[in-house]
């Protein structure tokens, strides 16, 4: 198919845009005629398919929680991941120390700490000063 619609750009910009499309393999040039390459987009998309995120990766980007899942099973999976990041072993932490670790995972430290305790993944002592991983 020959590109028929006039391109409403200044000549320099038009030539630069067409050169970029040729370089990307989306169109071919034959003299002054430009032709689209059939299935160029399909070929490009097939060459680099979009990665589908699964599990915790659907809710975590660059090591930080971007949203809490609505589904209980998914939420527990994200909270378990957060617990494993903040409390990888059986150590006991002060509220401040736990908060520092949780700050690496979320901007809402208090909410994540509350979710972890409410889910039973993290135990808090009676006065709320010490936290540790549930067995």
Q: At what angle do helices 95-102 and 109-118 cross, to 10 degrees?
A: 110
pLDDT (tens, 9 = 90+) of the chain, 135 residues, equals 356 666 678 888 888 988 898 888 888 888 888 888 888 777 777 777 777 888 999 999 999 999 999 999 999 999 999 999 999 998 999 999 999 999 999 999 999 999 999 999 999 999 989 999 998
pLDDT given at position 34? 82
For residues 79 and 117, the answer to whether their CB atoms sit within 8 Å is: no
**DSSP letter at 104?**
T
Question: Is the pTM of the predicted complex or chain greater than 0.75?
Answer: no
The pLDDT value recorded for residue 3 is: 63
Distance CA 124, CA 134 (A): 9
Q: What pLDDT sits at residue 124?
A: 96
pLDDT of residue 1: 39
- Give the per-residue pLDDT at 7: 67
Return the ∠ at Cα 63 (arms to 54 and 93), rounded to 5°. 120
């Amino acid at each position: 198919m020959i590109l028929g619609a006039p391109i409403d750009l200044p000549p320099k910009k038009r030539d630069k845009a067409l050169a970029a499309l040729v370089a990307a393999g989306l169109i071919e040039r034959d003299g002054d005629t430009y032709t689209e390459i059939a299935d160029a987009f399909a070929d490009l998309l097939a060459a680099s398919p979009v990665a589908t995120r699964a599990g915790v990766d659907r809710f975590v980007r660059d090591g930080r929680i971007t949203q809490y899942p609505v589904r209980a099973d998914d939420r527990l999976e994200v909270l378990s991941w957060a617990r494993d990041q903040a409390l990888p072993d059986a150590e006991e932490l002060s509220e401040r120390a736990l908060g520092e670790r949780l700050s690496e995972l979320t901007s809402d430290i208090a909410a994540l700490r509350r979710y972890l305790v409410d889910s039973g993944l993290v135990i808090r002592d009676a006065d709320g000063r010490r936290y540790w991983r549930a067995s």
